[in-house]
Structure 1
Amino acid sequence: MLVRTLSAAMVATLVWLPQAYAGSQTIPGNGEGQVEFNTPSGNIGCIYTPKGGTSIYQPQDGGPELSCSRIEPSYITVILGPNGSATQIKNPGEQGCCGDVAKLAYGNSWSKGPFSCQSSKKGLTCAAGNGHGFFVSKAKVTVK
């Protein structure tokens, strides 16, 4: 009887553990403060650029900036700055999304500067501190 009770407790613990560890995920940036991450599916990839940009890239408004791209079913990019609504680009010329970078696990969130993102099996939701943001999935893209 004790073995059954211990076995049941072990199974319950193993089922509970993934939810217990879901939460905030830290993803380190490169030497210039840029952070890259993908969703576990590999279909959505994001790049955070800090205020002032990097030696290679300067956000249009000086930053900070969060840019996320979706590969399938069509390639799109959504850009969110610190002010105003997110911008959706339906046919970006540059299509270099989703390399071998950190994965933002389903159920986890990430935040840097004024931005925060939540990864789920349904898609990726990101927002700026000003209330504007976007949702990206294989099925749809919504910006606000």
Structure 2
Amino acid sequence: MLLRLLTALCFLSSTASADVWSFATPSGNIECWVGEDFNGSDISCTIFDRSKPAAVPQLQTCPLHRGITVKMLDRGYVEASCTPAGDRPSGGQSVADYGVTGTFGGFACHSSTRGLECRNEDGHGFFLSRAVQRVF
């Protein structure tokens, strides 16, 4: 019991110190959630409407009516997955206007009319648009 209580307190204290916020592209087709704390930063972005299959081999079977979510830490590789059916934009985020670059902890994202590109400290990242979804 004491171990469970200590684990819960550690979890609560670590999440209480994290800063979390979200943003969307002007079209509303891409939404991102960013988290920063003393351990580093992370980002998760979802593109909802796509016109072509993903350029990520493990996601080429993801149906076009489903979105793609990418996740990245400030160091390391990008994870990508097919979003569950029915996941749609929630709205209400800040808007990352086209032409704007934002730096969040260990990564930077650039929003343009071509799409959204984010890179971490290791040079890994992703590019999302209706026509192209790739990780590098």
Is TM-score (shorter-chain normalized) higher than 0.5? yes
Structure 2 residue 35 is matched with structure 1 residue 46: no
* Aligned-partner Cα distance in 2 for 1:41–1:76: 16
Matched residue type, 2:42: E
Q: Distance in 2 between matches of 1:143 and 1:137?
A: 12
Work out whether residues 63 and 81 of structure 1, in 8 Å CA contact, stay in contact via their aligned partners in 2. Answer: yes
Matched, 1:138 2:130: yes
Larger fraction in strand: 2
The answer to whether 1:86 aligns with 2:72 is: no
User: 1:32 deviation in Å?
Assistant: 4.3
Alignment partner, residue 21 of structure 2:
35
Aligned to 1:65: 42
Letter in 1 for 2:26: P
2:114 equivalent in structure 1: 122
- Cα deviation, residue 100, structure 1: 1.3
Paired residues of 2:36 and 2:42 also in contact (CA < 8 A)? yes
Question: Per chain length, whose mean CA-contact separation is higher, i.e. which structure has more relative contact order (CA < 8 Å, sep 6+)?
Answer: 2
Shift of 1:115: 1.2
Equivalent residues of 1:43, 1:98 under 8 A apart: no
Q: How many residues align structurally? A: 105
- One-letter code aligned to 2:31: G
Identity %, equivalent residues: 33
Distance 1:65 1:80 in 2: 6
Distance of 1:116 and 1:63 partners within structure 2: 13
Q: Which runs of 5+ in 1 are unaligned?
A: 1-30, 53-61
Report the CA distance between 1:39 and its aligned residue.
0.3
Letter in 2 for 1:72: D
Q: Residue 24 of structure 2 contacts residue 94 of structure 2 at CA under 8 Å; is this kept in 1?
A: yes
Unaligned runs of 5+ in 2: 1-16, 51-65
SS in 2 for 1:34: strand
CA distance in 1 between partners of 2:88 and 2:19 (Å):
19
Find out whether 1:95 has 2:87 as its counterpart.
yes
SS in structure 2 of the partner of residue 64 of structure 1:
strand
What is the alpha-carbon root mean square deviation over aligned residues? 2.1
List structure 1 segments (4+ residues) > 4 angstroms apart after TM superposition.
Answer: none
